[in-house]
Chain A
C-alpha cells in the first residue's frame, strides 16, 4: 500500500481541490448568464472526479475509481443535456 506521507499528501491535495470547487460555486451563484452557470458546474464536476480518485487512492479503496468513472460520465451527460435543452431552446438538431 502507499506510504503514510503519500496518503496524507493526496488527502491534502483533495482538500485543496475541494476548497477551489467551493470557491467556484460563487460563479454558479452570480454568473450573469445560464451558460456561465452550466460551465462552472461542469468544471466543479470535473474536479470532484479528481477528488474521488485521489480519496480512493489515499484511503486504499479501489472501488472509488468506479464511482469516479460513473460520476464523470453523468457530469458529461448533464453538461450536454443542459446545453441542448436549457440554453438552446430545446431544439433537436
Chain B
C-alpha cells in the first residue's frame, strides 16, 4: 500500500461522502429550490473528486486527459442543468418554501418553530 494508493482511495472516499451529503439534502430539504443546492454543489464536488481519483489512477496520458475533459464538462453542466430546471420551475409557478407558509409543509414548519422556542 503506497502513499499514492492511500491518496487515490481518500479521493474516492470523499466522493462517496459528498454523494451521501447530496442524498441527505434530497431527503431532508423542504422544496425544489433548496434541493437544487444539494444537486448543484455537493453532487458536483463529489463527482469531481471521483473523476480526480480516476484520472490519478490511470497511467495512460491520453486517457487522463479524457478524464480531465470529462471533469471540466461535469463542472460546467451540473450547475447549469440545476439552474435551468429551477428557472423553469419558477416560470411554471412554483413558490419557494418559507417558515410562515403553512400550506404545504405545515408539520415541518411547526416543528422548526417548536425547537426554536425551546432555546
Contact = CB atoms under 8 A, between A and B. Distances in A.
Interface of A: 1-3, 5-6, 9-10, 12-13, 16-17, 20, 23-24, 26-27, 32-33, 35-36, 38-40, 42-43, 46-47, 49-50, 53-54, 56-58, 62, 65-66, 68-69, 72-73, 75-76, 79-80, 82-84, 87-89
A72 B74 contact: yes
B51 A50 contact: yes
B57 A46 contact: no
A42 B91 contact: no
Contacts of A24: 22-23, 26
Measured as residues with beta carbon below 8 angstroms from the partner, the interface class of chain B is 35 or more
- The secondary-structure label for the interface of chain B is helix
B32 A88 contact: no
B88 A87 contact: yes
Given A2-B57, A42-B39, A50-B51, A17 B23 contact: no
A46 B46 CA distance: 10
Interface string B15-50: 110011011001100001001101100011011001
